Amino acid sequence: MLKTSLFFVAIALIALLLADLEVSTLHPWTELSRMAWGALTPDVPSLWNLKLALLNTVVFAFCGIFLAVILGIGLAFAFHFTPVRLFCAFVRAIHEIFWAFIFLPIVGLNPTCGVLAIAIPYAGIFAKVYAEIIQESDRRPLEGVPRASGGLSRFVYGILPIIYADAKHYTGYRFECALRSSAILGFIGLPTLGFHLETAFREGIYSEAWALLYAFYILIASLRYWLTPRLVPLYIAASFVLLSRTITVSWANIVRFFTYDLLPWPMRREGVLDGTREISFAWEPIVSWASEIFVHEAWEGIWNTVVLTQIVLVGTGVFALLSFPFACRHFSGKIASRISHYALIVIRTTPEYILAYILVQLWGPSMLPAVWAILLHNGAILGFLCSNNADLVQLRIDAPGRRIDRYLFEILPRVYGQFLAFLFYRWEVMMRESAILGILGIYTLGFYIDSAISDDQIDKAILLILITVLLNMGIDSVSQFVRRRLKISTKLVTSL
């Protein structure tokens, strides 16, 4: 485990030398002080005018999650088929914002686009996790169910009650993620919180921006008070009713997208030039079109995405290992650990995209803001998890008194395996985030995808998204390989 860790640290150090980390803004500290002042003086009354954006954020999340759960359950039962598993990995590998880019030309910039952008990737995630939960649950009770019972009866009596608590817990956590996704979809123009956040930050109206951010924190912190299983059906129904007025699906658009827009430019070129919109087909121009994109854009995008990912992978780990003792009862007092605990929750709650956006405003577009944004968000998630796990450890009565000894000899060895498993588990997530942050002007894959979309070159954007997907699925299998080789799993061993 130590060898592997050092190997990845070495890669990250090399990547750090290769990365562009400069601060290009002229007065980063003045801007920071203005931002800090905004944080102290949130413009709460402005929220009243933005209530619709807050409502939309929640409504998109509800509709998206609902569709994702239904699709996810269905797919979970077919998960043992390799094509289904690959399909799920494929849809998961595309970030919500990229999905929104794909749906944009099909359904237009409207709520349907936002809901689908959440529903599709989350369905892939649910399918995988539900399948894992079912697989790891106690299968014996199902043997007590008569074999000839109907499929649904077997499910609701023999499987659902056993997995219910785990599945509910995970779905709840994913709803929180969906709120974050929904919020940041505003950054590309959908009518959610991100839309106003972007405007406020861009125009330097920091008091309003902070009021929105605080509202978002409160929304998420209060989840457990209003997201009760009994009320969920009501919320979902209300959300769909609210959305139904704006659902627009044009078959013509869908057909055009799949049969025309999607095709590589060389196939459409002649038809566009002579106005007939006819499609021609020849291998050579398509290959040269693709290799042109690969050499001039994709290659640099891939390189930067990988460099950024390797830096944040190790950065996240370091942040988590340094931060978790502050929130752990074995190292900090009651009050100090509580405060650190909440600090980690607040950092974790802030979507990495928003963090990166703020940092880009401060430092200008380079890898520096992206590194910190991804590292803080993921590091806080991991630090929180590690501190919870460390809290479960029962120290022996004669455990070392000095904190550093306790950390190195008692706690760290016990939580390290699981820490590493989670870190590698999130490797793929970090890569997806690295790619997406290109939209903010960092030269990762997202930058080129965003540019292609702005130039209305859907074919190019799709090709680049496919490259991103392959990169992601590649990282995912490397991560699985590493975890299997190290024999680490995300399940904790507390007694020992």
Residues near another protein (CB under 8 A): 140-150, 152-154, 156-158, 161-162, 164-165
Nearest approach in angstroms of CB 157 to another protein is 5
138/274 with CB nearer another protein: 138
State in angstroms the smallest separation of the CB of 227 from another protein. 21
In whole angstroms, the minimum distance from the beta carbon of 72 to another protein comes to: 21
Q: In the complex, what is the shortest distance from the CB of residue 167 to another protein, in angstroms, rounded to a whole number?
A: 12
Nearer to another protein, 74 or 364 (CB): 74
> Is the Cβ of residue 154 or residue 256 nearer to another protein in the bound state?
154
Q: Which is nearer to another protein, 149 or 222 (CB)?
A: 149
What is the rounded distance in angstroms from the CA atom of residue 245 to the CA atom of residue 81?
38
Q: Least distance from C-beta 165 to another protein, angstroms?
A: 7
Angle at 129 between CA 389 and CA 372, to 5 degrees: 60
CB of 163 to another protein, least distance (A): 9
**Residue 159 Cβ, how far from another protein at the closest point, in Å?**
9
Non-local CB neighbours of 445 within 8 Å, separated by 6+ positions = 298, 301, 302, 304, 305, 435, 438, 464, 467, 468, 471
**142 vs 345, beta carbon nearer another protein:** 142
From the CB of 77, what's the least distance to another protein, in Å? 16
The residue among 140 and 334 lying less far from another protein, judged by its C-beta, is 140
- Report whether 21 contacts 366 (CB < 8 A): yes
Q: Which is nearer to another protein, 164 or 281 (CB)?
A: 164
Q: Nearer to another protein by C-beta: 228 or 291?
A: 228
Q: Which is nearer to another protein, 148 or 273 (CB)?
A: 148
**Shortest Cβ distance from residue 117 to another protein (Å)?**
33
Q: How far is the CB of 229 from another protein (least distance, A)?
A: 14
- Pairwise CA distance, residues 65 & 178, whole Å: 7
C-beta separation of 162 from 134 below 8 A = no
Q: Which is nearer to another protein, 158 or 438 (CB)?
A: 158
Nearest residue to 450 via CA among 316, 297, 331:
297
